[in-house]
């Protein structure tokens, strides 16, 4: 059975980099963040309802990756287990984004949190230096800490195993690999 591992956390915490590194390490694939392409295509100014469109786009993209892996006979590990799919962002991220910016969240996003099943979360800490990007909104340390704490509280109050990922890029990858190996 396909193992789905979500990488989440505040912006500029190395989520996409970690997804790519893990996919390379395990010789599998990863599902990118739909929001980035959506905002680059449609403009960086967004409204509340855009977040619902982004959430649905993220889930559709995730489903495409899952179906592609299943159609192509899931990559196998030496022990017969299946290689994981790494997912950059999930509905928890959409919930945090919606509530932080608009103080509300679409029911669809909340429902999907309850319906989707994942095997492991990797929560990226804010200890990497901020990298400026036209899509990123909250560079100040106070807001980054606040957002990280929101994600950590979510992880503490949900049932799926999770691991905090911190340190430099090399340390993060090593810690993530240990967590994934334990899962597999």
* pLDDT at residue 134, rounded to an integer: 67
Q: For the domain that residue 61 is a member of, what is the CATH number?
A: 3.40.50.300
| Nearest C-alpha neighbor of 92 from the set 136, 179, 153 | 153
Please give the pLDDT value at position 72: 75
Q: What is the pLDDT of residue 84?
A: 92
Q: Contact at 8 Å (CB) between 84 and 180?
A: yes
If you average pLDDT over every residue of the chain, what do you get?
91
Helices (H), 103-134: 107-115
The mean pLDDT value for 87-109 works out to 97
According to the model, what pLDDT value does residue 104 have?
A: 98
- Span 87-116, mean pLDDT? 97
Picking from 43, 42, 40, 35, the residue whose alpha carbon sits closest to that of residue 16 is: 35
Domain that holds residue 162: 4-183
Q: Which residues contact 82 (CB under 8 A, 6 or more apart)?
A: 1, 2, 3, 74, 75, 76
Which residues lie closer than 8 Å to 130 by C-beta, 6 or more apart?
Answer: 12, 136, 139, 144
Say yes or no to pLDDT of 165 above 90.
Answer: yes
DSSP code for 33: P
For residue range 27-85, list pLDDT tens digits in order. 999 999 999 899 999 988 999 999 999 999 999 999 999 998 887 765 555 555 568 99
- Does the pLDDT of residue 101 top 90, yes or no? yes
Residue-wise pLDDT tens digits, 130-163: 777 766 666 688 999 999 999 999 999 999 999 9
pLDDT at position 131 is 74
pLDDT score for 132: 72
Q: What pLDDT score was predicted for residue 51?
A: 97
Quick one: pLDDT at residue 120?
98
Please name every residue paired with 124 in a beta bridge, in sequence order, or none if there are none: 165
| C-beta of residue 2 within 8 angstroms of C-beta of residue 69 | yes
* Burial letters 136-169, b for 16+ CB under 10 A, else e: eebeeeeebeebbebbeebbeeeeeebbbbbeee
**Number of folded domains in the chain?**
1
Residue showing tokens 């990559």: 75
Q: Which pLDDT does position 1 carry in this prediction? A: 78
CA distance 175 to 168: 11
């Amino acid at each position: 059975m396909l193992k789905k591992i979500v990488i989440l956390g505040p912006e500029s915490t190395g989520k996409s980099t970690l997804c790519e590194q893990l996919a390379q390490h395990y010789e599998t694939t990863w599902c990118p963040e739909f929001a980035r392409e959506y905002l680059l295509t449609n403009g960086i100014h967004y409204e509340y309802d855009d977040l619902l469109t982004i959430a649905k786009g993220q889930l559709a993209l995730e489903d495409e990756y899952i179906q592609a892996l299943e159609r192509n006979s899931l990559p196998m590990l030496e022990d017969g287990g299946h290689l994981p799919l790494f997912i950059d962002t999930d509905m928890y991220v959409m919930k945090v984004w919606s509530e932080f910016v608009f103080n509300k969240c679409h029911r669809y996003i909340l429902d999907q949190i309850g319906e989707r099943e994942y095997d492991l979360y990797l929560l990226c800490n804010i200890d990497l230096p901020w990298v400026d990007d036209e899509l990123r909104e909250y560079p100040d340390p106070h807001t980054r800490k606040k957002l990280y704490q929101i994600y950590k509280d979510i992880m503490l109050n949900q049932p799926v195993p999770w691991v905090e990922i911190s340190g430099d890029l090399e340390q993060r990858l090593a810690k993530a690999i240990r967590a994934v190996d334990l899962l597999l």
